[in-house]
Amino acid sequence: MKTAFQKRAAKIARAFTVASRLIAMAGLLGLGSGTTMAEDDRLVYLATTFHAEDQAIRTTACLQVTERIYPQSTWWEDVSGNANTPERAFKAVIAAIKRKDRAALLKLTDPTQGKDTKNFNEQSGAFFEQFDVIKLVGVPRAYDFDGLVVFFGKFQSGEQTAFVPLSFAHEEDGSLGFLPSRTQQLTYQLVEDWIQTNWGQSATDKPTYCTDTGIKRATHQISLASSAGATKQVSHPSNLFLVGASLDAPGELANLATQVKSTIEKLKSALVSGGIDGLIKLMTPEGGKRLKEWYAGANETERSGYKASTTKQMGQPYFLFDASPLVVVYTRSAVGVQVMYFTFNTRNELLWTNTSSLTVSDKVFKSGPLYDAASLGKPFSSIAIK
């Protein structure tokens, strides 16, 4: 049998493992400010992350959000009466969790999530257990965007640390509701991705933002949180800034447009050849490996079907976004508007990327308001920066 010490050690390890995985599990808490208040809010531009088959890539597609910076101390333990709503809400949530006060925590919770009694009970129970064995040691930054306030807390267990998103939703009455479960909002996922990268807060005290020069170069701007017919105004709306051009009139992207057209023509030619070796050479190594493995086990009907559907996907390229080192290309065919991703190899050649992978980027470029703008008579004209 395990000793009491062994059981305790296992509990600590198990709890910290949960904390490290909370990005896949839940937005754990909510955020606030201390006696020393946060600096003035400022607009920052986060370089969005593209998850290629074998690596995370920092792109030049930039998400504008509002950032608050807090002192490197346990400021939330001494929130003054003059603290604003997010800070008061954060302190109250932390206090309720430390007391293991389920009723108080429920009152602080977003009403929609609070109605799911089973999930709330499971999440609150996990918080109570985790706070017995892990310590919140810092909350250096918060981000306000699209009706959310998300603070990223630094948690510690022994010598290990992990940054965990702590989220609130702006309610109609002006209050903030704690989100015990992780929101699926797209812009939240993009901010979270940035935090967890090597150039974000989890890896450095001086995270890398998009440059002013990069933002001034942008040709298109869009709210990813918007939807057709929506009338409700959200607090601190975010915007995605992109550099794009029609392939018929690419302007300063003329060289890239020529390279895109040439690469897609090579892909089409490779598809009509007897095998797939030529196609694989134009794909990323990981993507090519996956295709080669699938092709080896596929029958002739499946192989023909793959080639036919892929040819349709390539269609006629008509617009590109330069988010270097990512290039996003929109094509037209009988099956409608399709999207292809390309990245550069060491020889500055374009390689077809994520041919069989699904990522958050698909929610940005292949659905939602940006994809809707792709189908306009004059593509993306509704989001062009005048």
pLDDT digits (tens, 9 = 90+) for 128-171: 998 888 889 888 889 999 999 998 888 888 888 888 888 999 99
- Give the orientation angle of helix 300-314 with respect to helix 254-271, to 10 degrees: 160
pTM of structure: 0.85
Residues 237 and 253 in one domain: no
C-alpha span between 284 and 177 (Å, rounded): 44
367 occurs within a structural domain: no
Q: Calculate the CA 286 to chain-centre distance.
A: 22
Residues 225 and 269 in one domain: no
345 occurs within a structural domain: yes
Host H or E run for residue 241? strand 239-242
- Residue that terminates a domain, selected from 227, 242, 257: 242
Confidence (pLDDT) at 11: 38
- Residue that terminates a domain, selected from 242, 276, 304: 242
Residues 9 and 112 in one domain: yes
Give per-residue pLDDT as tens, 348-363: 999 999 998 899 999 9
Count of structural domains, the chain: 2
C-alpha span between 307 and 268 (Å, rounded): 9
Mean pLDDT value across residues 177-205: 88
State the DSSP code for 348.
S
Residues 79 and 177 in one domain: yes
Confidence (pLDDT) at 3: 37
328 occurs within a structural domain: yes
382 occurs within a structural domain: no
Residues 82 and 206 in one domain: yes
pLDDT of 29 higher than 50: no
C-alpha span between 265 and 275 (Å, rounded): 17
384 occurs within a structural domain: no
76 occurs within a structural domain: yes
Give per-residue pLDDT as tens, 289-348: 999 999 999 999 999 999 988 988 899 999 999 999 999 999 998 889 999 999 999 999
State the DSSP code for 321.
E
Residues 250 and 327 in one domain: yes
SS3 197: coil
SS3 302: helix
78 occurs within a structural domain: yes
Residue 75 — pLDDT band, cuts 50, 70, 90?
Answer: confident
Residue 79 — pLDDT band, cuts 50, 70, 90?
Answer: low
Residue 353's DSSP bridge partners are 341
Residues 236 and 267 in one domain: no
Residues 177 and 309 in one domain: no
Residues 137 and 250 in one domain: no
- Residue that terminates a domain, selected from 242, 262, 284: 242
Q: What type of residue sits at position 343?
A: T
pLDDT of 4 higher than 50: no
Mean pLDDT value across residues 162-191: 92
Residues 148 and 29 in one domain: yes
Domain that holds residue 342: 245-355
374 occurs within a structural domain: no
Confidence (pLDDT) at 31: 30
Residues 180 and 166 in one domain: yes
Residues 182 and 88 in one domain: yes
